[in-house]
Amino acid sequence: MPYPMIALDDLAVRFGGVAALSGVTFTAGASEFIGVIGPNGAGKTTLFNVISGMVSPSAGAFRIDGVDLIGQRAHVFNRVGIARTFQTARVFRNLSVRENVEFGLRLPGRRGGRARHLRTEADDLLDRLGLRPQAGLTAGSLPPTRQRLIEIGMALATNPRVLLLDEVAAGLTQGEAKTMASLIRDLRSERDMCVIWIEHNVEVLMRTVERVLVLHHGEVLADGPPARITKDPVVIDAYLGETAVD
Amino acid sequence: MRRTGWILCAAIIACLAALPWFGSNFTISLALSITMYAGLALSWAMFSGTTGYIALSSSAFFGVGAYACAILLESWPWPIVILGGALTAALLALLLGLCVLHLRGTYFAILTFGISELLKNLVGYVEKSQFGTVGRMMLGVPSLSVIYWTVLGLAVAAAIIYWAVARSDFGAALRAIGSDEDRAATLGLNVRNTKIAAFCLSAIIPGSLGAAVAVRWTYIDPQIVFNPFIVFQTVLVATIGGASRLAGPVLGAVVFGLLEELLRLHFAHYYLILLGILLILSVLYVPNGLASLIPSRRPQLLHRAGGKHALPNDRS
């Protein structure tokens, strides 16, 4: 039996005396589409920080595709196939949009061909995300909503097996959020990758993903298909409240 | 346009190379200072200008290069002496990089400077306790023309390194580190190794220059060759000219070299004060360096995009 793509076992992260995550056990398969919800401070971003290698867990086991990566530096996590975006977009602000997207393609050993392939591959990505018209502009000059798209491009350029999206629909109107959701859905099936998506826009998220993980006070409150999560009394009580989506 | 630029560069280098046949000793010395500054500043800009890590270790690289020269000069041919300077400096950069490249910002700057000072005193101490004297005589010194050609060659090499790095994937990695190091790591870049490699590469030219220029002093000691002025001048030249373009450090070296000579000749007692004032003015009024005043082939990439032009296209 193949290993799960991501396997967290009784994982804990503590900052000083504060437990950001505790007892988190969670596995994700190779092409799953998972949404992560929970109130602010529930530990969602910390979960991403662990999976992307930016924070080392204080306790518990953590494997990616069967490989124990605890103690490794962040670039190793990317090389086994983890790529992410950030809640506050972190693009290379003073580089052009094209250079941002090219970065993941340019790393030595990642690309068989040379410069000409680089250009077409970057063009394809820019086209796919609708960023081609802004390719020559400095990334930092674009508004946050555009910067999130650049970040998705940067992540995709590293050809990930797991894409972690941290609130990529924040600040979008409901219509734009839906467009973003269908873009993500399409990208995931085109590339057959696992997507884990943190989003506050629960309505759009629930309609898009196949499985939802609910975090609360650093613990897993619920884990299951959206239809069940929206009806789960514990989740409604803790997070969704009376205005739950149906 | 591009081709004209290349031809112009080649012509200038050819003229500089021919200088020993028609120039006076004074002109050669002046050209030597300028080319040395250019080499030092280009190497510095290749690393610090891209990554944003302000390295204050040029004096250390220069100094170990000079000492390598003092040791090798008597029994080895000139190219080996220069190579010895380069390798010693690169080795020092490797050790230094392993120790301090995890530090960021001011800490990195201060520590690289502190280690250079430490090295100065350490070399002095070792000489005194092991050999009973401080300093060394330079024996078997080549002619001024040979020194000048060597320095010119090294400055050209520094320019080629700068240019090649800027175009390469390695250069893209360095710029990404300068922009957001942790982000670059999440995109698969081994930031530590990349920084160490670039730091070592940036030490080669200062080390070689130390070896080449050391022979102009008939006697060297740690106070002379580990002089912190070397790194101050390096950073100033790169800053005046602008570190983000090849033309920057070169232009900075020309302006700084001429200005230094001019002020020293006419205002011998307070030329350093005047130089200081001019530097402050240049940083205040031309913050991106003199090179930013020359129109670039790709200005819209880095400058014009900052304004309103970017917005109307949004969400198109």
> Got the DSSP string for A71-133?
T--HHHHHHTTEEE--SS----TTSBHHHHHHHHHHSTTS-SS-HHHHHHHHHHHHHHTT-GG
Q: How far is A241 from chain B (nearest CA, A)?
A: 33
Cα(B220)–Cα(B238) distance, integer angstroms: 26
Nearest by CB to A52, from B169, B186, B310: name it: B186
Cα(B152)–Cα(B253) distance, integer angstroms: 13
Instruction: Return the amino acid letter for A14.
Output: R
Torsion of CA B266, B268, B273, B278, to 10 degrees: 30
| pTM score, whole prediction | 0.88
Measured in whole angstroms, the distance separating CA B101 from the mean position of its chain's CA atoms is 19
Cα(A145)–Cα(A149) distance, integer angstroms: 7
* Nearest-by-CA chain B residue for A79: B188
Which helix (H) or strand (E) is A175 found in, with range?
A: helix A174-191
Q: With 60 as the cut, is the pLDDT of residue A243 above it?
A: no
> What local confidence, expressed as pLDDT, does residue A244 receive?
45
Cα(B49)–Cα(A209) distance, integer angstroms: 44
B314 contacts A146? CB cut-off 8 A: yes
B186 contacts A75? CB cut-off 8 A: yes
Q: How far is B161 from chain A (nearest CA, A)?
A: 19
- The answer for B 132-191 residues in CB contact with A (under 8 A) is 169, 172-173, 175-176, 179-180, 182-191
B273 interfaces chain A, CB cutoff of 8 Å: no
> Mutating which of B180, B186, B190 best tests the A interface, going by the most A Cβ atoms within 10 A?
B186
Cα(B137)–Cα(B214) distance, integer angstroms: 10
Q: How far is B50 from chain A (nearest CA, A)?
A: 11
The encoded tokens of residue A199 equal: 């989003």
End-to-end CA distance of chain A: 36
DSSP state of A238: I
Instruction: Kindly report the length of chain A.
Output: 246
A181-220 pLDDT, tens digit per residue, is 999 999 999 998 999 999 988 889 999 999 999 999 888 9
Better-predicted residue by pLDDT, B301 or A67: A67
> What local confidence, expressed as pLDDT, does residue A209 receive?
93
Q: With 60 as the cut, is the pLDDT of residue A112 above it?
A: no
Cα(A213)–Cα(A208) distance, integer angstroms: 14
B191 contacts A53? CB cut-off 8 A: no
> What local confidence, expressed as pLDDT, does residue B303 receive?
35
Residue stretches of chain B with pLDDT short of 50:
299-316
Q: How far is B166 from chain A (nearest CA, A)?
A: 13
B58-104 pLDDT, tens digit per residue, is 999 999 999 999 989 888 999 999 999 999 999 999 999 998 888 88
Nearest by CB to B185, from A75, A110, A176: name it: A75
Q: How many CA atoms lie within 13 A of A220 on its CB side?
A: 18
Closest by CA position to B238, among listed B257, B226, B223, B253: B253
Token match 């740690």: residue? B222
Q: Are B123 and B226 in contact (CB under 8 A)?
A: yes
pLDDT bin (cut points 50, 70, 90) of residue A116 is: low
A96 contacts B190? CB cut-off 8 A: no
B316 interfaces chain A, CB cutoff of 8 Å: yes
Average pLDDT over residues A224-237: 88
Q: With 90 as the cut, is the pLDDT of residue A156 above it?
A: yes
B197 interfaces chain A, CB cutoff of 8 Å: no
Cα(B227)–Cα(B221) distance, integer angstroms: 10
The encoded tokens of residue B254 equal: 């020309």
Q: Are B209 and B62 in contact (CB under 8 A)?
A: yes
ipTM for the whole complex: 0.88
Instruction: Return the amino acid letter for B190.
Output: N
Which residues in chain A have their CB less than 8 angstroms from residue B189's CB? 75, 107
Which residues in chain A have their CB less than 8 angstroms from residue B188's CB? 75, 78-79, 104, 107, 110, 158
* Nearest-by-CA chain A residue for B193: A75
A35 interfaces chain B, CB cutoff of 8 Å: no
Torsion of CA A68, A73, A78, A82, to 10 degrees: 50
Strand A194-198 to strand A33-37: parallel, antiparallel, or no bridges (unpaired)?
parallel
> What local confidence, expressed as pLDDT, does residue A128 receive?
92
The encoded tokens of residue B272 equal: 């350093």
The encoded tokens of residue A109 equal: 């050993």
> What local confidence, expressed as pLDDT, does residue B301 receive?
35
pLDDT bin (cut points 50, 70, 90) of residue A113 is: very low
